[in-house]
Structure 1
Amino acid sequence: MDNSRVYKMSFASVYPHYITKAERKGRTKAEVDEIIFWLTGYNKETLQKHIEEKTNFESFFDQAPQLNPNVSKITGVICGYRVEEIEDRLMQKVRYLDKLIDELAKGKAMEKILRK
């Protein structure tokens, strides 16, 4: 499968959709941001910088300070694929984020989403 289209998409173009998905289900932008911070190691300022610069997904994850050591605890199906079985590491990171936002929208507690 050619994932280059996804990799070249700007994170800023997808970020509002994450927020909309969460807010439709009564969750908040702050919770979306907390998930992104947990997964990538970014903080409010560095996340905002990537949004303003329209960083693509490939660079967004390549420049992440530190992928959370508990990402291996993220399991399940997103977009028809088991996240733990995705071999392409970059696509796996993108799907990790999709999965966490999906769990947020489904009403899961933040403690469980952040694998605490």
Structure 2
Amino acid sequence: MALDVNGKSVELDGNGNLVDPNAWDEDVAKALAAADDTMGELTQEHWDVLKYLREEFFDNNGNQPMERQINKDMGKVWGKKVSSKDLYNLFPGAPSKQGNRIAGLPYVARKGGY
């Protein structure tokens, strides 16, 4: 399966995640979000989460945090208490799964993480 983004083909696995996380850029993220019926337009909060997920993966030995950790860490970024509901409003398909997919990261086969 592949996704066409600005004239280039980006390979996806069977779950819709990028085969090569290095093929990701903002246009790819927008295309992945547009292809997902549950996602609206990406806001600054979406981009904050996507950036965080990518930094965790690339700078922390492939770490893909569970939702509880995402809540805590986004609370530090946004300077407020972040609930699961806040993150599910951004990523209705689960922040740790749908968020990772939009961030161009490998599929996570675990439960959400509380």
TM-score over 0.5 (shorter chain): no
Structure 1 or 2: larger helix share? 1
TM-score (norm 1): 0.28
